[in-house]
Amino acid sequence: MRSFKILNIIILISIASISCSREIDVQYQLNEVDVFEAKSQKIKAKNEAEYISILYTNLFQQAISPVQLFQSQNVLYSIGDQNVAKEMLLSNYFNRTDIQIPSDIEMRLNLEKFIIDTYKRFLLRLPSEGEKSYFMRYIQARPNLSVEMVYTAFAASDEYNFY
Amino acid sequence: MKRKEFIKKTGLLVGGGLVGPYILPSGRLFARSGTEKAKHVVLVMFAGGVRQQESVLQRYLEDSQGVSGAYGNIMPNLFLGDSPNKKVVYGLDLPGEPRGSDPIPRLLNTPLSQQGLFFPEVRAQSAGHYVGLNTLLTGSLGLSQGLKVRPQSPTIFEYLRRHRGFAATDTWFVGNTIGNSTPLLNSSDSSDYGLNFGANMFVPPISFGTAGKNTLSNAKPYSNADLAPMYEMKDFLDNSFNLEQSLVRTVKNTDVERTRIKEFIRNTFTKQSLGQIAMPPSSSGGDAFNVAYAAEILKEFKPKMLAVNLSEVDGCHSNFTGYLRSLHRADHITGWLWQYIQNNIPEMAGETIFIIAPETGRNLKPNPIIDENDWLAYDHSDANSLRVWSVMAGKNVPNRKVGSESSPVGRLTDIVPTIADIFGIYDDVMQSGYIDSQATSQFLRV
């Protein structure tokens, strides 16, 4: 009889040990992190088609037509100084009314934000403190300086030609 | 500071200030190893594969198609000789007359070959276009030169910019197409020279044609004052990025030069819309368009060295009649360009040397393709394709004919040493290690 009790206890303990336990609800989440390119990692040159296509989408917020892309690409090929060619292309884009850029007033209302946005928009990275400081001082010191000229400088820069 | 030390330091400072600005990109203090013969050189790369028989030998249809008695000169602005009087098809079209029966009137009283150094039988180093063009611009044999890559050896533009200290806008290459690797000819890939010393370039049929008009003609007019801050910001960004020299992919002008080129582009579109671009009077094809815009570049920039490429003659692969017409027109527009310089650019008139040479010849035997007149076409691949000529006229060029059909003198690789000789950097170029060992200045072959 005693041994039967011991057996019952062992069985009860065994059942208790394998019985269901409280389920823990585990959730995995991602922290939001801003990911930007580092300029030192930009070693691949954009070809003419990439440059034009990226620039056009950037400035007009829509894709360039194949005919326009083909013509623009050929024109870049046909000019020896690519800086001249690209600055001329930009000048033509800035002469269009459908270009999507902030106004000069918006630029000066929140200059720091404008500079950070411009770096992110063109160079896909945040400015260093030194770069931010340079542009803050440079733009503040020149009341007539336009968004157009700032954007031209960024779009014609060496860094914008690489990814 | 002691007096002696003060005098020493002041002397060094003043000396450095005087000498510094004259040190060339090559690191040399003095630019020239010889005397400058002229202030400007214009090289016409003529014109896509020219057969000796129809050009300098003036055999017209008698040689090429076996038409007895149909011989004569169809290039009256370059060569001396009577025009053919039988089966004339290369001229202008007159109503009611057979096509091409009216030859374009000669522009120059004296053909260019009679005004200077004329080499009627020169050896080309390649039967292909791109290597031939490379030969004309680099003076090297180009034996391992590939397509779709820049010249392996430095171009004359790079020699002139490095050893003579010319600015980017002093040197121009005017291409006729963006195909066939042509837009790569403004600079080599040489590590000793390269794009830092390359020439500016336009390909007028594209830059100023429909594509250029649609892409560039609506540019805003910016003043130097407008652009100065943009250049400063760009310089800041470029310095921050610090692009490796090996990754540089473009010729670079100074900010002032860039503004000037952009103004030139804008003004040229304006002139174009007003019909003010000067054109050769009797030709409007692609080569004429190219030469007309080369003339605009000459007028604006007065460059030290400009090379312009013509290529319509290459239609000879499938259309012999078209080839004759193109050859006649290439002669016309070349004569026009020389005349334009003399009459419209006072700074260059009398101060320019004009050089004309084909990049390659054409075959002795035809291919089987026949044209509208049942005439056979010609390719370029045999020994006859290595037979070409060259003409040089202008300031300080002796008036002489050197060589003959039976006695060839000169090589196409001579052109670069000749231009180097004209600008007084002959020794620098010949000692660069890139020039064909058999090449020499044409002035020294006289």
pLDDT per residue as tens digits for the range B91-119: 999 999 999 999 999 999 999 999 999 99
Residues of B in contact with A46 (CB under 8 A): none
DSSP β-ladder status, B40-45 and B352-357: parallel
pLDDT, position B34: 78
pLDDT, position B356: 98
Question: DSSP characters for B338-402?
Answer: HHHHHHH-TTTTTSEEEEEE-S----SS--S-B-TTSPBP--S-SGGGGEEEEEEEETT---EE-
CB of B241 less than 8 A from some CB of A: yes
Which residues lie below 8 Å from residue B110, measured CB to CB, with a gap of 6+? Answer: none
CB of B253 less than 8 A from some CB of A: yes
Mean pLDDT, to the nearest integer, of B260-282? Answer: 96
pLDDT, position A16: 66
Measuring CA to CA, how many Å separate B243 from each of A161, B123, B248, B394?
Answer: 10, 43, 7, 43
Residues of A in contact with B261 (CB under 8 A): 81, 84
Report the DSSP beta bridge partners of residue B201.
B173
pLDDT, position B26: 59
pTM: 0.89
Contact assignment for B230 to A152 by CB distance below 8 Å = yes
CB B91 within 8 A of CB B102: yes
The answer for B 254-293 residues in CB contact with A (under 8 A) is: 258, 261-262, 265
Enter the tokens of residue A97.
Answer: 């009314």
CB of B229 less than 8 A from some CB of A: yes
Residues of A in contact with B294 (CB under 8 A): none
Contact assignment for A92 to B219 by CB distance below 8 Å = yes
Enter the tokens of residue B32.
Answer: 């020239």
Q: What is the pLDDT of residues B119-168, one digit of tens each?
A: 999 999 999 999 999 999 999 998 888 888 999 999 999 999 999 999 99
- Distance CA(A14)–CA(A18), nearest Å, equals 7
Closest Cα in chain A to B263: A88
Residue with tokens 């001249």: A84
Report the DSSP beta bridge partners of residue B277.
none
Report how far Cα A103 is from the mean position of its chain's Cα atoms: 21
Burial class (CB in 10 A: 0-12, 13-18, 19+), A66: exposed
A11 phi, psi to nearest 5 deg: -65, -45
Measuring CA to CA, how many Å separate A80 from each of B58, B121, B188, B199?
Answer: 38, 34, 13, 7
* Confidence band for A95, pLDDT divided at 50, 70 and 90: very high
What count of other Cβ atoms lies within 10 Å of the Cβ of residue B141?
22
Which residues lie below 8 Å from residue B79, measured CB to CB, with a gap of 6+? Answer: B55, B56, B58, B73, B111, B113
The residues of A whose Cβ lies within 8 A of any Cβ of B are 39, 42-43, 45, 68, 71-72, 74-75, 77-84, 87-89, 91-92, 94-96, 131, 134-135, 138, 142, 145, 149-150, 152-154, 156-159, 161-162
Contact assignment for B222 to A77 by CB distance below 8 Å = no
DSSP state of B173: E
Q: Among B168, B200, B206, whose Cβ lies nearest the Cβ of A74?
A: B206
**Would you say how long chain B is, in residues?**
446
- Distance CA(B117)–CA(B114), nearest Å, equals 8
- Distance CA(B323)–CA(B60), nearest Å, equals 11
pLDDT of B243 higher than 80: yes
Mean pLDDT, to the nearest integer, of B329-337? Answer: 98
Q: What is the pLDDT of residues A35-90, one digit of tens each?
A: 777 777 888 999 999 999 999 999 999 999 999 999 999 999 999 999 999 999 99
DSSP state of A122: I
pLDDT, position B56: 98
Measuring CA to CA, how many Å separate B419 from each of B237, B278, B334, B426?
Answer: 39, 28, 19, 8
Measuring CA to CA, how many Å separate A8 from each of A17, A18, B245, B417?
Answer: 14, 16, 86, 111
HEC sequence for B291-336:
HHHHHHHHHHHCCCEEEEECCHHHHHHCCHHHHHHHHHHHHHHHHH
* Confidence band for B10, pLDDT divided at 50, 70 and 90: low
B445 phi, psi to nearest 5 deg: -90, -5
- Which strand (E) or helix (H) includes residue B32? none
Angle formed by the axes of helices A48-60 and A82-94, to 10°? 20
